Amino acid sequence: MNIYRSHLFLFIIFISSCSINSAQYSFMKNQIISQKQELDPNWTLTWFRKNIDMYAVNDQGFIYFINFDKVFIRFDGWQVNEVSGLFPNNSKMIIQKDGSDLIYFINNQNSGSDECDDWVEDPESDLKKWKQICHEKIINYNYTNSIVMNENEKIVGLKFKISNEYPPVIMRMNEYSDLVFD
């Protein structure tokens, strides 16, 4: 109820004044921003041993992972296919699937491709874990992309390679912060 009263008070001040000065505007803007930040991030992105708070937004078959620092990751249910806000020079990574290949583009320039096996379910996992083994062609090694689901088949963890030059992104729903990827 206090938030309602404070907004009503601000609205009355705004309407009753002939013009809005910068102190009033700044106060109102800060009130709005502070309300946005009351939302708790529901995911954590681990990148270069650093944890980054993220928000997951579901929309039309995609999960968008975003934060207030302009980090953006788009996931289509089986593949991370766009990443920005993590690379130098505001670079944008696009990952396209072409048959069994994943093709990586940095700022629309092809930066390599990997050949991947089909997704398989890991029967030894307590949670439902899907794994995809991929072979990096440039330096000849295998890596694993992973999707983890809880008992309700809700995605709770992801690990994906996003570039030949950077480590994979690891994302966990905060309720599953102890989730371990191999």
Domain range annotation of the chain: 2-36, 43-176
Torsion of CA 169, 170, 173, 178, to 10 degrees: -160
CA 180 to chain centre: 18
Which residues have CB under 8 Å from 135's CB, separation 6+? Answer: 114, 115, 116, 141, 142
**pTM higher than 0.75, yes or no?**
yes
Walk along the chain (182 residues) and give the pLDDT tens digit of each residue. 444 333 333 333 333 343 333 444 345 345 445 555 567 899 999 999 899 999 999 998 999 999 989 999 999 999 999 999 999 888 999 999 999 999 999 999 999 999 999 999 988 777 899 999 999 877 888 999 999 999 999 999 999 999 888 899 999 999 999 999 97
Architecture of domain 43-176: Beta Barrel (2.40)
What gap in Å lies between CA 162 and CA 145, rounded to an integer?
Answer: 10
Q: What distance in Å separates the CA atoms of residue 83 and residue 94, rounded to the nearest whole number? A: 7
